[in-house]
Chains A and B, each alone.
Chain A
């Protein structure tokens, strides 16, 4: 079973040289730590930056330089600042190659719910609805089951939706799965030490298993 860093490490393998990538808050933010040396990617922050660098050294924080999670950051050489309309313009226009974000639920046709639990305090969708409606490639990083032990990979989402038919791939602590255009989660890889049966038991939506499922290499 993978921990949060393990999930991030596995997703980092999907990040290819030359990509523009938007990382969501939480596990997706950790992905930046595992992008291999020599793979040149530009990280987009939807509050108006292309070229996110590492966190600053203590004493070098600048309140005018933050990421979408309001954390202090730095820039890398070649970075650019812009306003929020241009930021979502480049997202909407499909210029961002890969979006990695968290989810509460994903359905077998790729619907995603990640912004609202009815009856609980609603904080807002931020940029999530814009990102999922426009991104060409969306990978979800999440736990396979919720705290109550219920599957988060479902036939249909029960929570209010963030977007329709948009998730392409899911990486959880148990598995890597594709969401097929015709519907269904296709199992691609098992986490180290996890059996196909364990993944089957944790997946409520339609699970497609073809042939031998390899253990993921990290």
Chain B
């Protein structure tokens, strides 16, 4: 078993047009920067991207919007992006907005081998349109289906050659969930170590969910809202 690849380009080599991708991250925190750059170099188009957010105009998934590679976004919040808004209003881009917890849990369900979940989020709202409503113990819930993702792309802090991953602080967010939901999962990591160097008790996501792993480089880790206090 060899999961290690040498570059982002090699990791995404067989992603073709019209693929369903899952991308980890929350805002610009914990996004797979190297793989996004590689997808832009490869020039694949017609992508459906499942990601909590859509980046900003000049970073993250926003870069793939600039190059018109994304056909559809499935997200919970897509603000802070003027090009996104332009493409949405002109009809170039399709958007499916879903509650953040529903997004997370539909990914989890995929990774847990469950076809669907019931959640109260969106009951009585337009999110419930066309969905089965079922009452448990006096409260209504919506049936929501597990995602079906061709390629998942995530960013972790540390990984080993078995694909085991450790995330850092709030950059964990959607990354392990996106990773669990992919038929093929690609992980880029800041530090890649031989199997055995990570404490098995400290693994956040076991490598069984990861098919390709590479050491990323030149991380920008942009901050979306820099807020500080005065001493």
Contacts and interface: CB of A to CB of B under 8 A. Distances in A.
Interface of A: 45-49, 54-58, 60-67, 69-73, 75, 81-85, 87-89, 91-92, 111, 121-130, 133-134, 160-164
B104 A69 contact: no
B107 interface: yes
Contact of A83 (B29, B104, B119, B229): B104
A58 B223 CA distance: 13
B26 A85 contact: no
Contacts of A160: 125-126
A85 B177 contact: yes
B225 A47 contact: no
Nearest to B111: A85
Interface of B: 26-30, 52, 75-79, 85, 88-89, 97, 99-105, 107-108, 119-127, 157, 167-177, 204, 221-231
A59 to B, nearest CB: 8
Contact of B177 (A49, A83, A92, A164): A83
A91 B99 CA distance: 13
B231 to A, nearest CB: 6
Given A64-B168, A66-B26, A85-B105, A126 B174 contact: no
Contacts of B173: 47-48, 83-84
Nearest to A67: B170
B124 A85 contact: no
Nearest 3 CB-CB pairs, A to B?
A88-B101, A130-B101, A123-B79
A55 B101 contact: no
Contacts of A83: 104, 172-177, 204
Given A46-B100, A127-B100, A72 B172 contact: no
B121 A133 contact: yes
Given A129-B125, A133-B122, A71 B227 contact: yes
A175 B103 CA distance: 36
30 contacts: A46-B100, A47-B26, A47-B27, A48-B170, A48-B172, A55-B228, A57-B230, A63-B29, A64-B157, A65-B169, A65-B170, A66-B29, A70-B29, A71-B225, A72-B227, A73-B227, A83-B177, A84-B174, A84-B177, A87-B101, A88-B104, A89-B105, A121-B85, A124-B77, A125-B77, A127-B76, A129-B127, A130-B99, A133-B120, A161-B125
A143 to B, nearest CB: 20
Contacts of A82: 172
Contacts of A164: 123-125
B97 A81 contact: no
A130 B121 contact: yes
Among the interface residues B78, B102, B124, which one has the most CB atoms of the partner chain A within 10 A? B124
Contacts of B78: 123-124
Residue among A57, A67, A84 with max Cβ neighbours from chain B (10 Å): A84
Nearest to A73: B227
A133 B120 CA distance: 6
Contacts of A67: 170
Contact of B122 (A61, A62, A84, A129): A129
B9 to A, nearest CB: 25
Contacts of B77: 123-126
A66 B76 contact: no
Contacts of A89: 105
Nearest to A160: B126
A69 B100 contact: no
Of the listed residues B29, B78, B121, B223, the one surrounded by the most CB atoms of chain A closer than 10 A to its CB is B121
B104 A85 contact: yes
A55 B174 contact: no
Given A129-B121, A164-B124, A63 B223 contact: yes
